[in-house]
Amino acid sequence: MELLELRTRIRNELEREKNGKEEEPGVGGNIETWQHWMRGLTCYGSPGTGAGPAALPQRAGIGITIPALCASLPLPPSSRSFLSLLVKLRDIMSAQKSDFRLRPLTLEELQQPAENIPDDYKDWKIHDFEAGFALGSGRFGRVFLVRETKTELNFLLAMKVLFKAQLSKYNMEHQLRREIEIHQRVKHPNIVRLFTWINHTDKIFLLLEYAPGGDMYTHLSKLRRFTERRTATYVWQISDALSYCHSKGVIHRDIKPENILIGARGQALLADFGWAAQ
C-alpha cells in the first residue's frame, strides 16, 4: 500500500471517528470501521539475537495482522484507540531486526483459550515450537512469542527463556523452583497459566499462556486512569484470582500493574509468581 494512500485513509478514518459515537473501551473496540483496509497490513518481528534466542528454532517466525492485534487489545475510546494502534504498529515495525516476511496470525489463533490446549503439553520439547518476536526482557532472560507446531492447533504461547548462569550469579535457583511449583498448582481464568517447563543445557524454558494485551501498567500509563466500569471489572477479576490462591494456601506477595496482564478477551490475568509463598 502506498504511503500517500495510507495517510489519506488514516485521515479519513479519523474524521469518521471524530463524528461518530464513543464506545466503552474493551476487546475489539472501534475495530470494524477500519478493519477493511487494515486487513492487509502485516507487522514484522524477530527471534532476536544472543545466547538465549539462539536456542530457539531459527525459522520464519510469527507475524500479526493489525486487525488481529487491535481486536486482542482493550483499546481506549474514539480516535485515541486508532492513534494508539498506529503507535503500536510503529513500535513493532521499528523493532524489526530481520528481513523475512512473517505469516499473519488470525483472530481465531489469538483468541484460543488456554483451557483448550491438550493435556499432552507435558511432553513438549524445545523443537516443538516456532519462535516469533520478543515480548520483553529482564535480568535473567527474555520472553518470546512462540507457536506450537507439534499439532494442527498451533497454539500461541509465551516462552520465558532464563539463563542458568544469571540465576546462579544471583542465587535465584531456589526461588525459580518455588515459582514453578506454586505456579503450576494454580489454575484459574484470571491467572496466567504455566503449562510446563523445559530444562536445557544452559537455559530454563517456561511455557506460559500468551496475553496479547500486554501488562496493565502500560495501559494505565497511556490512559492515566480507567473508567469506573473497567476498574470494577479488573478489581473483581483479580480479587477472585487472589481468593482462589488463598484457598490453595498461596500468597502472591507482588501485586502491581506490571504483574497483571490483559488477555485476548480483555480479561485481567495475574502473573509472575516469583515472590509467591505457600
Active site members: 254
192 close to 274: Cβ distance less than 8 angstroms: no
- DSSP class of residue 77 equals S
* Sequence-ordered list of residues with C-beta below 8 angstroms from that of 178, at least 6 positions apart, any chain: 276, 277
- Does 272 carry a binding-site annotation? yes
- Give the span between the Cα atoms of 82 and 16, in whole angstroms: 11
- Does 277 carry a binding-site annotation? no
- Does 160 carry a binding-site annotation? yes
- Does 139 carry a binding-site annotation? yes
Q: Cell numbers of 168, please?
A: 546462579
- Does 51 carry a binding-site annotation? no
* Sequence-ordered list of residues with C-beta below 8 angstroms from that of 151, at least 6 positions apart, any chain: 118
- Does 210 carry a binding-site annotation? yes
- Does 171 carry a binding-site annotation? no
- Give the span between the Cα atoms of 71 and 68, in whole angstroms: 5
9 close to 17: Cβ distance less than 8 angstroms: no
Residue 93: closest CA among 38, 46, 37:
46
* Sequence-ordered list of residues with C-beta below 8 angstroms from that of 10, at least 6 positions apart, any chain: 82, 86
- Does 259 carry a binding-site annotation? yes
Q: List, as residue ranges, the binding site.
A: 139, 160, 209-211, 258-259, 272
Q: List, as residue ranges, the binding site for ATP.
A: 139, 160, 209-211, 258-259, 272
